[in-house]
């Protein structure tokens, strides 16, 4: 396999309710930003991660639509879907195409246009990432599934409502420093606990929002990156990808995200590094409990200790294991198909030293974890300064 | 839900039919075509027991539109005797009285109505044992 570098990244200037822009506009805007950032004049291929444009906007066949509107008619383009891990899967797919030697300059992006439908329809669309016949049929919602993970975590490990709330407080504080974040507002633990209940114990401020947005990265062989790009190349050092049962009920321990643990193990092995070598993490905090369960599955803290570590500030921007310095899904927004791609955008900016006020000093290596459903799929990337 | 979809799920939904792997004995609900434990493709149909306990749960305050009249409702993972786990609403008890480890029994109940002209969807709900 060839070494692969990221030479361009892009996203919309700000995520949120982008009523003035269509599905294609949002994606093309982000992809053009990535192309401009890379300084390339053509693409050899592209991957578009998207969970549910069919339900959200009535549009499928994004491979053709997006390559055409990106001014890249006729290139081989592929849409990939793995629920909320679609963006991460697009990056992995592009990585494989470059690493294999098949093609050189590949764009990997993600997009979701979620605000053209009502809240009820959006809830339905997101619910399709669960098992429709054995979870949805009984009245399960996505917050409901994560709430069951939270209840089990609280009962087993003594995790508290305040520990959950602190994840949201931390990520909102981080999002204050990110110009593209949908919600740039500080919140307090008390505000989270006083906010409306969605699925006990998760309040609305424990949940990531409904968001329109897109993000894209450009990959090429590392050898080529050094010749064609003026930017600091960022190498994709490790890639891990795993699946698990789609049904939460069928996992032996509902608090344990095995797909994330397996994907991380594979990525660390491939990169030949360990957790102490990682300077910052972007993880899939679709709900506050998700960030807690993820940092345990990644092995950053012991099982059951994530809440305590969060309260102590270990995962804050200034802590010893900074998690979601971008604001995470919670503050930045969660356009489901784009989330995995923007994690790579954020970490590339950090490793280049371009992250402005939220820059982690001397960041050399970073990890992104993107997850589908209630943990039915997970993609992990380890990036490093080349 | 189109009626064909509904009809083909009746054995497992109405009668709680599961598949027991002939080779390794693992019981799968819903039934499967290949055993994830030993990869055998030979199964016998068994009916699940109705008794079990709550593994974890939540109280849903904002539900899907089909369940709008039900909120707030308790929804949980129930582990049946023998170890099979499935998702079910926990009813006939105030949601705030539900607890992890609570003994329950599955009962055949109406789950929701599919709009004004749609079919009535049945299945199992858990009630305190």
Query: Tens of pLDDT along chain A (386 residues)?
Result: 999 999 999 999 999 999 999 999 999 999 999 999 999 999 999 999 999 999 999 999 999 999 999 999 999 999 999 999 999 999 999 999 999 999 999 999 999 999 999 988 898 899 999 999 999 999 999 999 999 999 999 999 999 999 999 999 999 999 999 999 999 999 999 999 999 999 999 999 999 999 999 999 999 999 999 999 989 999 999 999 999 999 999 999 999 999 999 999 999 999 999 999 999 999 999 999 999 999 999 999 999 999 999 999 999 999 999 999 999 999 999 999 999 999 999 999 999 999 999 999 999 999 999 999 999 999 999 999 99
Q: Are residues B106 and B128 in the same domain?
A: yes
Q: Are residues B122 and B62 in the same domain?
A: yes
- Domain range enclosing B65: 49-129
Contact A93, A103 (CB under 8 A): no
- Cα separation values, A107 from A39, A66, A226, Å: 13, 11, 18
Q: What are the residue ranges of helices labelled H in A195-277?
A: 222-228, 258-271
List, by residue range, all CATH 3.40.47.10 domains of chain A.
4-118+211-234, 139-208+237-385
Tell if the pTM clears 0.90, that is, is over it: yes
For chain A, helix (H) and strand (E) counts, in that order, are 14, 11
Question: Dihedral of the CA atoms A145, A146, A152, A154 (nearest 10)?
Answer: -150
Structural domain count, chain B: 2
B88 min Cα distance to partner chain A (Å):
6
Q: Which residues of A touch B76 (CB under 8 A)?
A: 148
Choosing from B31, B48, B65, the residue where a domain stops is B48
| Domain CATH number, residue B92 | 2.40.50.840
Count of A-B CB contacts under 8 Å = 93
Q: Would you call A123 an interface residue with chain B, using a CB distance cutoff of 8 Å?
A: yes
Rounded CA gap, B6 and A363, in Å? 54
Domain range A139-208+237-385, CATH architecture: 3-Layer(aba) Sandwich (3.40)
Q: Determine, for residues B123 and A137 on separate chains, whether the beta-carbon distance falls below 8 Å.
A: yes
Pick the CATH number of A4-118+211-234 from 3.40.50.10470, 3.40.47.10, 3.40.50.300, 3.65.10.10: 3.40.47.10
Rounded CA gap, A31 and A217, in Å? 8
Rounded CA gap, A53 and A111, in Å? 9
Q: Partners of A184 in the beta sheet?
A: none
Strands (E), chain A: 4-11, 45-49, 77-80, 106-112, 197-200, 202-203, 213-221, 234-243, 280-282, 365-372, 377-385
- ipTM of the complex, rounded to two decimals: 0.96
For B87, the closest of A135, A151, A197 (CB atoms) is A135
Q: Which residues of A touch B58 (CB under 8 A)?
A: 144, 147-148, 150-151, 199-202
Question: Dihedral of the CA atoms A11, A16, A20, A24 (nearest 10)?
Answer: 40
Q: Determine, for residues B60 and A247 on separate chains, whether the beta-carbon distance falls below 8 Å.
A: no
3-state DSSP call for residue A102? coil
**Residue from A50, A84, A207, A220 carrying the catalytic annotation:** A84
Q: Determine, for residues A124 and B111 on separate chains, whether the beta-carbon distance falls below 8 Å.
A: no
């Amino acid at each position: 396999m060839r070494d692969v570098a990221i030479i361009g990244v892009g996203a919309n200037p700000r995520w949120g309710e982008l009523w003035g822009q269509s599905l294609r506009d949002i994606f093309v805007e982000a992809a053009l930003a990535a192309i401009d950032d890379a300084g390339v004049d053509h693409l050899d291929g592209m991957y578009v991660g998207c969970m549910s444009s069919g339900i959200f906007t009535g549009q499928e066949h994004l491979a053709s639509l997006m390559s055409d509107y990106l001014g890249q008619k006729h290139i081989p383009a592929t849409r990939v879907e793995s629920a909320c891990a679609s963006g991460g899967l697009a990056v992995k797919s592009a990585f494989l195409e470059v690493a294999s030697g098949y093609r050189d300059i590949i764009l990997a992006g993600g997009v979701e246009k979620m605000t053209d439908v009502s809240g009820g329809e959006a809830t339905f669309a997101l619910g399709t990432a669960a098992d429709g016949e054995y979870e949805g049929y009984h009245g399960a919602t996505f917050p409901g599934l994560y709430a069951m993970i939270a209840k089990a975590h609280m009962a087993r490990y003594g995790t508290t409502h305040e520990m959950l709330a602190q994840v949201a407080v931390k990520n909102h504080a981080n999002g204050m420093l990110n110009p593209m974040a949908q919600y740039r507002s500080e919140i307090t633990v008390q505000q989270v606990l006083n906010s409306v209940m969605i699925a006990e114990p998760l309040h609305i401020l424990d949940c990531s929002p409904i968001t329109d947005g897109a993000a894209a990265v450009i990959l090429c062989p590392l050898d080529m990156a050094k010749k064609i790009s003026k930017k600091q190349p960022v190498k994709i050092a490790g890639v891990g990808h795993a699946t698990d049962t789609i049904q939460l009920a069928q996992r032996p321990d509902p608090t344990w995200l095995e797909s994330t643990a397996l994907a991380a193990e594979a990525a660390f092995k491939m990169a030949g590094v360990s957790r102490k070598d990682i300077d910052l993490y972007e993880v899939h905090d679709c709900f506050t409990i998700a960030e807690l369960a993820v940092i345990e599955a990644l092995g950053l803290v012991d099982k059951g200790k994530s809440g305590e570590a969060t309260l102590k500030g270990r995962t804050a921007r200034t802590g010893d294991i900074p998690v979601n310095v971008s604001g995470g899904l919670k503050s930045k927004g969660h356009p489901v198909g784009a989330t995995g791609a923007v994690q790579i955008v954020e970490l590339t900016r950090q490793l280049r030293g371009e992250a402005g006020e939220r820059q982690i000093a001397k960041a050399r290596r970073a990890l992104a974890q993107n997850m589908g459903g209630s943990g039915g799929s997970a993609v992990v990337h380890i990036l490093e300064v080349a | 839900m189109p009626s064909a979809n509904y009809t083909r799920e009746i054995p497992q939904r109405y009668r709680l039919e599961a598949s027991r792997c002939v080779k390794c004995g693992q019981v799968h609900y819903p039934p499967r075509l290949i055993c994830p434990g030993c990869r055998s493709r030979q199964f016998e149909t068994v009916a699940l027991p109705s008794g079990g306990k709550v593994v974890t749960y939540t109280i849903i305050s904002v539900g899907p539109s089909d369940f709008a009249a039900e909120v707030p409702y308790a929804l949980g993972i129930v582990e049946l005797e023998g170890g099979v786990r499935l998702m079910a609403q926990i009813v006939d008890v105030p949601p705030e009285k539900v607890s992890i480890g609570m003994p329950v029994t599955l009962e055949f109940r109406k789950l929701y109505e599919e709009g004004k002209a749609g079919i009535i969807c049945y299945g199992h709900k858990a009630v305190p044992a």
